[in-house]
Structure 1
Amino acid sequence: MFGVLLRKLVRAVTILLVVSFTTFLLMYGKGSGIVRAVLGFEAKEADIRREMARLGLDRPLLVQYGDWLHGVVTGDLGESFFTGQSVTSLLATRVPVTLTLVLLALVATAVLGVLLGVTAAVRGGWIDRTVQFLAVLGAAIPPFVIAIALVFAFAIAVRIFPATGYVSPDQSLTGWSSSVTLPAVALLLSTVASTAAQFRGAVIDALSQDFVRTLRARGISESRVVYRHVLRNAGGPGLISLNLGVMTLLGGAVFIEQIFALPGLGEAGLTASLQGDVPVVMGILLVGITIVLVVNLLADLANAALTPKARTR
C-alpha cells in the first residue's frame, strides 16, 4: 500500500507541475498585455515598462514561475493586480463556500448513487428504466438550467429557500443551511443519475460472476451477497465515476455560484478571468487542481484497498 501511495503522490505532483506551468506560460507569457489590462489600453509605453518592472513581469518566465512555486510552498500567492488584495486571503474566504457545495453534493451523490444503482441492478423493472432515463436526462440538461428551475420552484413559486445570497455558518446555521441547499441540490441532480447508472452497470457485471453463484449455493442471504461481496467488487468502477463527478461538480459550481450569487471560487474566477487578474486566476487554478488530485488520490487508494489487482498499477 505504501508503494501505491508513493507512486500516486509522484504522479499527482507531476500533473500539478505540468498543468500549472502550462497555464503560467499561457497567461504570464502575455507580458505587456497583462499590464495594458491593468493600466488601460491607452497607457503610455513608459508607464507600461515601469509597471512591468514593478510586477516583475520583465524577468525571464522560468524565474517568474520559480518565484510562484516558492510562493505556493510558503503560502504567498501574490496580490491581485486590480484590488491589491492578497490572493491567499481571497482564497481563504472563497474556498470554503465552493468546497461546501461540492462536498455536500459529492456525499449525497455517493450515497444516493449506490442505493439507486444497487436497487436498479437487483430489482430491475421500472426502477431500472427510471434510473437509465434520468441518467440520460441529467447528462442532457446543464446544471444552470436545473438551478434556474429550482429557484422558480422553491424560491419564487413556493418561498421555502432564498433565491440568492450566502449566509456564513458563524452568523446563522439556519441561514447558512438555507442558502446552500438549493445550490447543492442543483449540483447533486446533475451527477447523481449518471453515478447511479455506473453503479448499476458495475453491480450487474459483478452479479454475473461465478463467485456470486457459489455464495448463493452455500445458502448465504441475498442481501449479504449483494452488500458485502458484490458491492465491494463493483466499488472500483463506482469510485471512478465519483472521481470524474468531482470535476463535473467543480465545473458546475462556476455557473451555480453565478445564479445564486454565492461568493465562491467560481464567481471569483470568472471575474478575474474577465479582468485579466492573473495572480487570482493562478491561485484558483491551483486550488482546483489540488482538489481534483486529492480526490483522485483518495479514490485510487480506496480502489486499491477494495481491489488487490489495482495495487500493482
Structure 2
Amino acid sequence: MFAFVSRRLALAVLTVLAAVLISFLLVHATPGSPGAIKAGPSGTAAQIAQYNHELGWDLPLWRQFVDYLANLLRLDFGTSLIDSKDIGADLAARLPVTASIALFATLLSGVVGIVLGVTAAVRGGRLGRLITSSSGVALSLPAFWVGILLVYVLSLQLGWLPATGYTRFGDDPVGWLMSLALPVLTLTVGGAAIIARTAGAGMREALRQEHVRTLRAMRTPEWRIRYVHALRYASVPVVSVLGIQFIALFGGSVIIENLFALPGLGQASQAASSSHDLPALVGVVVIATIVVVATNLLLEVVVAALDPKVRTS
C-alpha cells in the first residue's frame, strides 16, 4: 500500500507541475503583455515597457518560470493587474465558498443517491421502477433551471431561504448554512440521480455474485448480505463517481456561483477572463488543479482500500 501511495503521490506532483507549465506558456502565447493590460487603453509605449520591466516580463522565459515556481512554493500568486490586490489572499477567501458548495453537494448526493439506489435494487417492483425513472428525469434537468425553480419556491414563495448572497461562517454560522442551502440543493438533484443509478446497478450486480449465493447457503442473515457484503462490493463504483462528481462540481461552479451571487473561484475566474487579468486567472487554474489532483489521489487511495486488486494494477 505504501508503494502504491508513493507512486500516485509522485504522479500527482508531476501533474501539478505540468499544469503550471502549460498555464505559464499559454499566458505567454496570448497577444499583448501584462504591462499593456495594467497600463490600460490610454497607456503609452514607455509606460507599458516600464510595467513589463517591473513585472519581469522582459526576462528570459526560463527565468520567469523558475521565479514563478519559487513564488508558488511560498504561496505567492502575485498581484492583480486590474486592482493590485493580493491574488493569494483573494483566492484564499474564495476557496472555502466553492469547496463548501462542492463538498456538501457531493456528500448529500451520496447519502440520498445510495439510499435510493440500494432501495431500488433491493425492493425492486414498482418502487424500484419509480426510483429509476425519477432519477432519469432528474438527470435531464439543467442545474440552472433547477436553481431558478428552487429560488422561486423556497425563497420567493415560502421565504425559507435567501435567494442570493453569501454569509461568512465567522460572521453567522446559521446564516452561512442558509446561504449555501439553495446552491447545494440545486446541485444535489442531478448528483443524487447519478449516484442512485450507479448504486442501484452496482447493488444488483453484487447480489448476483457467487459469494453472495454462498453466504445465503450458509444461512447468513439477509440484512448482513445486503448491507455489509453486497454494499461493500457496490461501493467501489459509487466512490469513484462521487470523486468525479466533486471534481466536476468544484471545477464547474461558474453558473451556480453567478446564479446565487456567491464569491467563489468560479466567479473569480470569470472576472479574470473578462478583464484579461492573467495572473489572477493562472492563480485560479493552479488552485483548481491542486484540488483536482489531491481529490484524485484521495479517491485512488480509498478505492484501493476497498478493492485490493487495484493496488496491484
Q: Partner of 2:309: helix, strand, or coil?
A: helix
- Say yes or no: does 1:2 pair with 2:2: yes
The CA RMSD over aligned residues, in Å, is 1.7
Paired position in structure 2 for 1:81? 81
Aligned counterparts of 1:196 and 1:8: Cα–Cα separation in 2: 29
Paired position in structure 1 for 2:195? 195
Aligned counterparts of 1:17 and 1:134: Cα–Cα separation in 2: 43
Q: Partner of 2:253: helix, strand, or coil?
A: helix
1:31-110 mapped onto 2 (5 Å cutoff):
32-110=32-110
Deviation at 1:13, TM superposition (A): 1.3
Paired position in structure 2 for 1:284? 284
Give the AA of the match of 1:120.
A
Distance 1:191 1:61, change over 3 A: farther
Deviation at 1:220, TM superposition (A): 1.0
Paired position in structure 1 for 2:267? 267
- Say yes or no: does 1:142 pair with 2:142: yes
Distance 1:2 1:118, change over 3 A: same
Q: How many residues align?
A: 313
- Deviation string 1:29-51 (CA, Å, 9 cap, x unpaired) is 32634433332245333322222
Aligned-pair identity in percent equals: 35
Paired position in structure 2 for 1:12? 12
Structure 1 range deviating more: 228-237 or 53-62: 53-62
Give the AA of the match of 2:18.
V
Distance 1:137 1:278, change over 3 A: farther
1:181-192 mapped onto 2 (5 Å cutoff):
181-192=181-192
Aligned counterparts of 2:190 and 2:55: Cα–Cα separation in 1: 41
- TM-score normalised by L of structure 1: 0.94
Contact 2:38 2:51 in 1 (8 A): no
Q: Partner of 1:141: helix, strand, or coil?
A: coil
Gaps of 5+ in 2: none
Deviation at 1:230, TM superposition (A): 1.0
Contact 1:110 1:242 in 2 (8 A): yes
- Say yes or no: does 1:299 pair with 2:299: yes
Paired position in structure 2 for 1:122? 122
- TM-score normalised by L of structure 2: 0.94
Distance 1:72 1:126, change over 3 A: farther
Aligned counterparts of 1:291 and 1:136: Cα–Cα separation in 2: 30
- Deviation string 1:245-277 (CA, Å, 9 cap, x unpaired) is 012212442211111111111111111111111
- Deviation string 1:36-92 (CA, Å, 9 cap, x unpaired) is 333224533332222211111222333222222212211111111111111111112
Aligned counterparts of 1:39 and 1:3: Cα–Cα separation in 2: 52
Aligned counterparts of 2:102 and 2:24: Cα–Cα separation in 1: 26
Give the AA of the match of 2:16.
L
Give the AA of the match of 1:68.
Y
Paired position in structure 1 for 2:26? 26
Deviation at 1:225, TM superposition (A): 0.6
Contact 1:91 1:284 in 2 (8 A): yes
Deviation at 1:126, TM superposition (A): 3.2
Give the AA of the match of 2:94.
R
Deviation at 1:161, TM superposition (A): 0.7
- Say yes or no: does 1:245 pair with 2:245: yes
Gaps of 5+ in 1: none
Give the AA of the match of 1:197.
R
Q: Partner of 1:171: helix, strand, or coil?
A: coil
Contact 2:80 2:87 in 1 (8 A): yes
Paired position in structure 1 for 2:151? 151
Aligned counterparts of 1:219 and 1:296: Cα–Cα separation in 2: 39
Aligned counterparts of 2:129 and 2:68: Cα–Cα separation in 1: 51
Aligned counterparts of 1:131 and 1:88: Cα–Cα separation in 2: 45
- Deviation string 1:208-264 (CA, Å, 9 cap, x unpaired) is 110010011111112111111111111221111111101221244221111111111
Distance 1:214 1:284, change over 3 A: same
